[in-house]
């Protein structure tokens, strides 16, 4: 009987450490990937001449600078969702059309830093917490904060892909992908 209790205790403790390690690894992996996302996004922005920031390939698409603005605002939105707090910025404060390339990069960089801070504050319990997501197909969709970390990376990659196409359309070779 003593051996069974010992084995159950050992399994319970092992499971506890495995879960905590997995959660910590999720956040560590996200942080490393997010830092690469930031670096690559900035390299894409640096590749586009500032004089072409208002370029848009068609009337219904965002301009290059509007893509940057969208990524920045989304980063703040996702980060505030992870932290379950109000947006720390007002959408009007992100108007980038009258900012220099250096200013735009700094505003964008701040949004990446904000997301990392919110990810680092996550706990085992908070990563499992479901939040109302509300996608365009189902307004009552829920996502865990762990799932939201993946969505954040997907969103950034989606719009960086657009930025890459914009560069190609302007005959600019984009920087090599950072993996």
pLDDT tens column, 35-86: 999 999 999 999 999 999 999 999 999 999 999 999 999 999 999 999 999 9
Cα distances (Å, whole numbers) of residue 52 to 65, 92, 121, 174: 9, 22, 38, 14
CATH of 2-169, one of 1.20.120.450, 1.10.20.60, 3.40.50.2300, 3.90.980.10: 1.20.120.450
* Intra-chain end-to-end CA distance of the chain, in Å: 52
**Predicted TM-score of the model (pTM):** 0.83
pLDDT tens column, 87-136: 888 877 778 888 999 999 999 999 999 999 999 999 988 999 999 887 77
């Amino acid at each position: 009987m003593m051996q069974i209790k010992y084995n159950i205790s050992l399994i319970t403790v092992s499971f506890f450490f495995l879960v905590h390690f997995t959660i910590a690894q999720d956040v560590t992996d996200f942080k490393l990937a997010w830092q690469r996302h930031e670096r690559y996004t900035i390299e894409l922005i640096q590749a586009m001449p500032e004089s072409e920031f208002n370029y848009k390939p068609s009337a219904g698409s965002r301009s290059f600078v509007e893509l940057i603005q969208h990524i920045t605002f989304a980063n703040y939105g996702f980060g505030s969702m992870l932290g379950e707090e109000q947006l720390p910025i007002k959408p009007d404060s992100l108007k980038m059309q009258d900012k220099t390339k250096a200013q735009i990069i700094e505003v964008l960089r701040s949004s990446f830093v904000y997301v990392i801070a919110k990810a680092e504050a996550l706990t085992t319990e908070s990563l499992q917490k479901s939040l109302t997501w509300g996608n365009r197909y189902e307004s009552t969709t829920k996502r865990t904060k762990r799932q939201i970390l993946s969505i954040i990376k997907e969103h950034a990659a989606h719009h960086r892909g657009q930025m890459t196409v914009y560069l190609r359309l302007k005959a600019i070779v984009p920087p090599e992908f950072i993996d």
